[in-house]
Chains A and B, each alone.
Chain A
Amino acid sequence: MTSNMKASLSANQEPGQNLSGIFRNRRNSLLDAMIAAFLIQDGITNGAVYALLGLALVLLFSVTRVIFIPQGEFVAYGALTLALLDGAKVPATISLLVSFGVIAFLLDLWGMRRGTDARTFLRSVGLNLVLPGAIYGITAALAPLGLPSVAKALLTVLIITPMGLYIYRIAYRPLADASVLVLLIASVGVHLAMMGLGLVFFGAEGLRAEPLADENYTVGMLMVSAQSLCIYGATIAIIVALYLFFERTLLGKALRATAVNRLGARLVGVRTHLTGVTAFTLAAAIGAVSGVLIGPITTIYYDTGFLIGLKGFVAAIIGGLGSFPITAIAAIGVGLVESFSSFFASSYKEVIVFGLIIPVLIWLSLSHAFHEEE
């Protein structure tokens, strides 16, 4: 809070005055504007993180038809990993990563039990054993040194991203042709498993990471922290990068083709397993980035991810689980609604936020004739 807000609070307000009255009181219009500005800033900051999650959910659903409930777990893992790196500790996430890799490798071996060629085998070894092993080595060597904050953030993203790949390999690839419902049930299982592993590896108490940048800037009457600027910047950068990826690259176009029609895409030679892997890896990377961004502004627990993920999910639902731009805008809206309802009716905040889904679902079900694909 800027000092002029503190001053105006004490100058403009009678002690004990109820704040809902202030908004109606004209004398305090400056204060109204200031509180509103704070709430808007707070809403946009959280909304930007929800936008990243919403985009990841839409991406995954359109490409793989998976409603990916554990997306929030990547956020929690990311934030907790960063917080542990801050303490110059070796984050337990790397042993988790190696275990995931080993399980994926064993599944690959089982798949190869009726014979295989050297190339497939070596690729599996490289992807599932060498890659996590290398990340393990790098992290174990670098973490105790006390890295600069940007390096810690990058290392966190590097640790979390391959998890998306392994989770796809372990849980979803064997089910790639199952119905949306079966995939959803698998998601619930993955969510519970990841949350439980989070408790084992990070413990029950929350952690808070150090901000990537400590500075604060005063814009007009608002104080903007460098961390929230990082959040805005990263969200915009990821949205632009996703746009370029989908519009300009062959792989991105393959993902879009899969999203439009899986069967058709396969008929014209798109490898749907490859698009699935890509989508999950992207989602994990986006989750890790969200975790790095949100870790320093709040306390994250092993089970926080679920709630954050659900808010992203609200945005994705408003976007019909298909539209990136509507999801991003809706996420900002969710952030704003959350922020204002926390001010006016804090006990009913979650009710209001999650209640947003109901009118949207009614509208969607009236305006679209839904049919299960394939």
Chain B
Amino acid sequence: MKNRFLAGIAAAAVASLPLMVAAPALADVTIGVTVSSTGPGAALGIPLKNSVELWPTEVGGEKLKVIVLDDAGDPSTATTNARRFVNDDKVDVIVGSALTPASIAVAGVAAETSTPHLGCSPVPPNISKGKWTFIMPQDAGLIARNLFAKMKADGVKTVGYIGFSDSYGDLWMGQFKAIGEQYGLKVIADERYARPDTSVSGQVLKLVAARPDAVFVGASGTGAALPQIGLRERGFTGKIYQTHGAVTFDFLRIAGKAADNTVFASGPAMVPEGLPDSAETKPEGMAYVTAYEKKFGAGTRTQFGPHINDAMAILKKAIPIALKKAKPGTPEFRAALRDAIETGGPFPASQGVFNFKADDHLGLDDRAVVLLTAKNGKFELTK
């Protein structure tokens, strides 16, 4: 027993040896990335992880050292990862995670250890108010305002809602409750389903029978296709509105013809080709999408991957500012980097133009949202 114990210690020591050797030389800028490349958030996390591979190797003359860990979308794993970044790797900035609960966990560690944090999922307002956390994705309010305005313009008055039976579904229903009335929208049916459900027939029947002017789907990825197909099968001919979470080519592949006559909100990075040349998001978007699809194949771009690109777009500008004040790997550098992110804007990126302020760590405006319609298996810009 004792021998085994000693052997265990020896094994652990040997295993951690490469980590020690790999510990950063003090001058490198170290970035810790935690994303859910497995587990229920894998569809979001994998494009994020892939996008990290497109990052440059140095910024402002300093080498970048990037560590990517998988948190499986689990808050406790994300916490462990974030602590490892801070304690063992002495990172200067943490990026991630892909799912809201894990991002909240990372934000907690970032605040406690005074480490700048760029979150790649939407978070509740109390988290985005955190001093050290900045959020890359468009928040639900911004997307909802654009979609609701479009619904109003389309003459929609009554809405049937169907969404995930989790926080993502609640998020959009919350927007209807908060600001729906301002746009003259009344929700007359609120139905929920789970992504792995094999059927949404019951919910769809109820929606169709409530006869809304339009249906709003609060779901993401190919999971959003299930009610889309169900509604069309049951003869619903009204407009369907989808959130930016549904804007993936996999959605179009699954939904096929049923996706016609549907309006999607999206970040501009899904369709940089269609943007006018004057759009500030076009150069970053084109560069990112071209590089990503060159590496991972045509038609592989997603809504989520660009957040990683945008984190780097911000860091590229903020790191040189912070370098003037302190050396990487020190608390002073982390504080300087945080200040540079907060005050160094605007940062034109692929999903929008970030302009953070002390009381606004979301930083995006209407330039971060475009409206799309699905036609013949493609997304077309409507705005």
Give A contacts to B, CB under 8 Å. Answer: 1, 3, 5-6, 9-10, 13, 15-19, 22, 31, 35, 38-39, 42, 45-46, 49, 196, 199, 203-208, 294, 297-299, 301, 303-304, 306-308, 338-344, 346-347, 349-350
Contact = CB atoms under 8 A, between A and B. Distances in A.
A341 B202 contact: yes
B206 interface: yes
Interface string B223-260: 10110000001110000000000001010001000000
Given A346-B193, A350-B194, A339 B201 contact: yes
A42 B222 contact: no
Given A6-B235, A298-B226, A340 B202 contact: yes
B205 A346 contact: no
B12 interface: no
B158 A343 contact: no
Contact of A19 (B209, B225, B248): B209
> Chain A CB within 10 Å — which of B199, B208, B211, B235 has the most?
B199
A19 B191 CA distance: 12
A39 B192 contact: no
Nearest to B165: A347
B158 A16 contact: yes
A301 B224 CA distance: 13
A51 B235 CA distance: 30
Given A9-B209, A19-B206, A301 B235 contact: no
A347 B254 CA distance: 24
Contacts, number: 124
A129 B225 CA distance: 40
B195 interface: yes
A9 B211 contact: yes
B199 A22 contact: no
A42 B210 contact: no
A38 B201 contact: yes
Contact of A298 (B45, B189, B198): B198
B275 interface: no
B202 A39 contact: yes
A343 B254 contact: no
Contacts of A199: 38, 42
B119 interface: no
Contacts of B223: 206, 299
A299 B222 contact: yes
Contacts of B46: 203-204
B43 interface: yes
Nearest to A16: B188
Nearest to A5: B235
Contact of A303 (B40, B209, B225, B226): B40
Nearest to A347: B192
7 contacts: A38-B205, A196-B38, A199-B38, A205-B222, A205-B248, A299-B226, A346-B165
B56 interface: no
A212 B206 CA distance: 28
B313 interface: no
Given A18-B210, A205-B248, A347-B192, A294 B198 contact: yes
Given A9-B209, A349-B197, 18 more contacts: A15-B211, A16-B158, A18-B188, A204-B42, A205-B221, A206-B222, A298-B198, A299-B225, A304-B196, A308-B196, A308-B198, A339-B201, A342-B201, A342-B203, A343-B205, A346-B202, A346-B206, A350-B165
